[in-house]
Chains A and B, each alone.
Chain A
Amino acid sequence: MSKDMKTTVSSDPPPENMEKIKITRRDFMKRLGLGTGLTALALTGCRSEAENDAARSAASGDSAEGSMTYRINPKTGEKVSILGYGCMRWPTVRSEDKEGEDVIDQEMVNRLVDTAIAHGVNYFDTSPAYCKGFSERATGIALSRHPRESYYIATKLSNFAPQTWSREASMAMYHKSFKELQTDRIDYMLLHSIGGGNGMDDFRARYIDNGMLDFLMAEREAGRIGNLGFSYHGEIAVFDWALANHDKYKWDFVQIQLNYLDWKHAKQLNPRNTDGEYLYGELEKRGIPAIIMEPLLGGRLSNVPDHIAARLKQREPEKSVASWAFRYAGTHHGVLTVLSGMTYMEHLEDNLHTYSPLVPLNDDEMQFLYDTADLMVQYPTVACNDCKYCMPCPYGIDIPAILLHYNKCVNQGNVAEGTQASNYAEARRAFLVGYDRSVPRLRQASHCIGCNQCSPHCPQSIDIPKELHRIDRYVESLKQNPA
Chain B
Amino acid sequence: MAAIVMVTLLFVDFSGTAQRWFGWMAKIQFLPAVLALNLAVIAALIILTLVFGRLYCSVICPLGIMQDGFGRLGKLARKNRYSYSKAKNALRYAMLAVMVIAIVAGIGAVVALLAPYSAYGRIAQSLIAPVWAWVNNLLASVAASHESYAFYSVDIWLRGSATLAVAVGTLILLAILAWRNGRTYCNTVCPVGTVLGFFARFSVLRPVIDKSKCNSCGLCARNCKAACIDSAAHTIDYSRCVTCFDCIGKCHKDAISYAPSYGRSKVEVSTDNRPDSGRRNFMTALAALGAAAATQAREKTVDGGLAVIADKKIPARRTRIVPPGAVSLRNMAGHCTACQLCVAVCPNGVLRPSASLDTLMQPESSYERGYCRPECTRCSEVCPSGAIRPLSVADKSAVQIGHAVWIKANCVPLADGVECGNCARHCPVGAITMVPSDPADESSLKIPAVNTERCIGCGACENLCPARPFSAIYVEGHENHRII
Contacts and interface: CB of A to CB of B under 8 A. Distances in A.
B375 A453 contact: no
Contacts of A100: 301-304
Contacts of B144: 437
Nearest to B376: A479
A447 B371 CA distance: 13
Interface residues of A, number: 53
Interface string B357-401: 000000000000010011100000000000000000000000000
Contact of B375 (A391, A430, A442, A479): A479
Contacts of A27: 150
A12 B300 CA distance: 32
A147 interface: no
A436 interface: yes
Given A447-B464, A453-B418, A23 B309 contact: no
A32 B148 contact: no
Interface string A95-125: 0001111110000000000000000000000
Given A100-B303, A102-B303, A443-B306, A429 B149 contact: yes
B373 A443 contact: no
A392 B149 contact: no
Interface string A421-456: 000000001101110110011110011111111000
Interface in B288-338: 299-309
Contacts of A101: 303-304
A480 B374 contact: yes
Given A99-B301, A433-B152, A453-B418, A480 B307 contact: no
A446 B464 contact: yes
Interface in B125-172: 139-140, 142-144, 146-153
Contacts of A430: 149
B410 interface: no
A343 B302 CA distance: 22
Contact of A480 (B375, B418, B466): B375
B304 A437 contact: no
Nearest to B141: A437
B256 interface: no
A450 B148 contact: no
Contacts of A447: 422, 464, 466
A145 interface: no
Contacts of B420: 449-451
Interface string B409-446: 00010001011111001100000000000000000000
B304 A449 contact: no
Given A450-B422, A479-B375, A480-B374, A20 B307 contact: no
Contacts of A398: 303, 306
A395 B307 contact: yes
B324 to A, nearest CB: 16
Nearest to B422: A449
Interface string A30-67: 01100000010010000000000000000000000000
A432 B421 CA distance: 24
Contacts of B306: 391-393, 396, 398, 443
Interface in A366-390: 388
Nearest to B300: A440
Given A28-B143, A480-B375, A443 B309 contact: yes
A272 interface: no
A179 to B, nearest CB: 23
Contacts of A24: 150
Interface size band for B:
35 or more
Given A450-B422, A479-B375, A102 B309 contact: no
Contacts of B142: 32, 39
Given A132-B305, A436-B152, A20 B146 contact: yes
Contacts of A315: none
Contacts of B416: 451
A102 B304 contact: yes
Contacts of B421: 449-450
B147 A396 contact: no
B150 A396 contact: no
Contacts of A102: 303-305
A246 to B, nearest CB: 37
B305 A451 contact: no
Nearest to B370: A441
A297 B460 CA distance: 37
Interface centre among A39, A132, A391, A433 (most CB of B within 10 A): A433
B150 A25 contact: yes
A296 to B, nearest CB: 21
A224 interface: no
A349 to B, nearest CB: 22
A21 interface: yes
A169 B151 CA distance: 51
Interface string A176-213: 00000000000000000000000000000000000000
Contacts of A28: 139, 143, 146, 148, 150-151
A77 interface: no
A317 interface: no
Nearest to B143: A28
A443 B146 CA distance: 24
A319 interface: no
A186 B295 CA distance: 54
A17 interface: yes
B309 A442 contact: yes
A395 B300 contact: no
Nearest to B152: A433
A482 interface: yes
B308 to A, nearest CB: 7
A469 B424 CA distance: 13
Contacts of B139: 28, 32
A434 B145 CA distance: 11
A395 to B, nearest CB: 5
Given A20-B147, A20-B148, A28-B151, A451 B309 contact: no
Contact of B147 (A21, A31, A394, A452): A21
B412 A449 contact: yes
Nearest to B463: A446
Interface centre among A102, A103, A395 (most CB of B within 10 A): A395
B349 to A, nearest CB: 9
A263 to B, nearest CB: 32
Given A28-B150, A430-B149, A446-B464, A392 B305 contact: yes
A20 B418 CA distance: 45
Contacts of B299: 442
Contacts of B140: 437
A219 B307 CA distance: 37
A395 B425 CA distance: 16
Contacts of B146: 20, 23, 28, 31, 39, 42
A23 B150 contact: yes
Contacts of B418: 449, 451-453
B375 A396 contact: no
Contacts of A23: 146, 148, 150
Interface in B64-79: none
Contacts of B425: 450, 469
A388 B149 contact: no
Contacts of A482: 375
15 contacts: A17-B147, A20-B146, A29-B150, A98-B304, A101-B304, A392-B307, A398-B303, A433-B149, A446-B426, A447-B422, A449-B420, A449-B422, A450-B422, A451-B419, A476-B426
Given A39-B142, A391-B305, A396-B309, 19 more contacts: A20-B146, A20-B148, A27-B150, A28-B148, A98-B304, A100-B302, A102-B304, A103-B304, A132-B304, A388-B305, A396-B307, A434-B149, A446-B422, A447-B466, A448-B422, A449-B419, A449-B420, A450-B420, A452-B419
Q: 10 closest Cβ contacts across the A-B interface?
A: A100-B301, A451-B418, A28-B150, A396-B309, A25-B150, A449-B420, A433-B152, A101-B304, A433-B149, A392-B307
Interface of B: 139-140, 142-144, 146-153, 299-309, 370, 373-375, 412, 416, 418-422, 425-426, 464, 466
